[in-house]
Amino acid sequence: MRRIAIVLITLVTLMTYALPMRAEWHEFWYSVKVDWHRNNQWPEPFLYADRQVAVEAEARMVSRGWQLQNTISSYHFDPESQELTSAGEHKVHWILTQTPAAYRTVFVLRGESSRMTAARVESVRQYMADVWPDSASMPAIVQTDVEPRGWPAEDIDDTYRKALQSRPSPVLPAAASISGGSN
């Protein structure tokens, strides 16, 4: 009887320690299996995440580029009335007709005051209502603080005209006389 009690106590003790060890043993072999599969398929699981990061960065750059391209700057508005100038109307018309539909948003550069900005947005909205046939699908008008780099068309035109005026007149070189023997 005493021997049976000792065997039972020994079995209970071993089972108490063996169950957690068994769980750890299975966890170890599961980890070995996962590591083996990762090593044998190595670049494949990570390619998609890397590609996604590159695609997202490029998509942000493209979106920001279209924002800068579609921004109506200060020089597209009359300084006193904040109405669109002829250049501003051409720019808005270009955005409405030439920009891909996914990027067809008009960005208006904020003015010095909220009243100036509201006048600019209203001027763009009125012009778009005249040009755009369907008011339900009219592109969005968004205010922005990001001013595109560049110069007003008048400045570029003035520089070009001054360069044309300052260059010398084209003159052909004097003709060389041909003298000599008879052939």
pLDDT exceeds 90 at position 98 = yes
Report the predicted TM-score, pTM, of the whole model to 2 decimal places: 0.60
The mean pLDDT of 30-50, rounded to a whole number, is 87
Say if 83 falls within a structural domain.
yes
Tell me the torsion sign for CA atoms 125, 131, 136, 137.
Answer: negative
pLDDT exceeds 60 at position 57 = yes
Q: Are residues 31 and 88 in the same domain?
A: no
The mean pLDDT of 18-37, rounded to a whole number, is 79
pLDDT tens digits for range 116-151: 999 999 999 999 999 988 877 899 999 999 988 877
17: confidence class by pLDDT, cuts 50, 70, 90: low
Among 3-17, 26-40, 64-78, 163-177, name the one with the lowest average pLDDT.
3-17
- With beta carbons less than 8 A apart as the criterion, state whether 49 and 42 touch: no
Q: How many domains does the chain have?
A: 2
Say if 33 falls within a structural domain.
yes
* Spatial separation of the C-alpha atoms in residues 52 and 50, rounded to whole Å: 5
Question: Degrees (nearest 5) of the Cα angle 46, 48, 50?
Answer: 70
Longest dimension (CA), the chain: 146
Nearest to 109 by CA among 142, 144, 139: 144
Helix (H) or strand (E) holding 106: strand 106-109
Model pLDDT, residue 85: 93
Q: Are residues 33 and 66 in the same domain?
A: no
User: By residue range, what is the domain housing residue 2?
Assistant: 1-37
What is residue 30's three-state secondary structure? helix
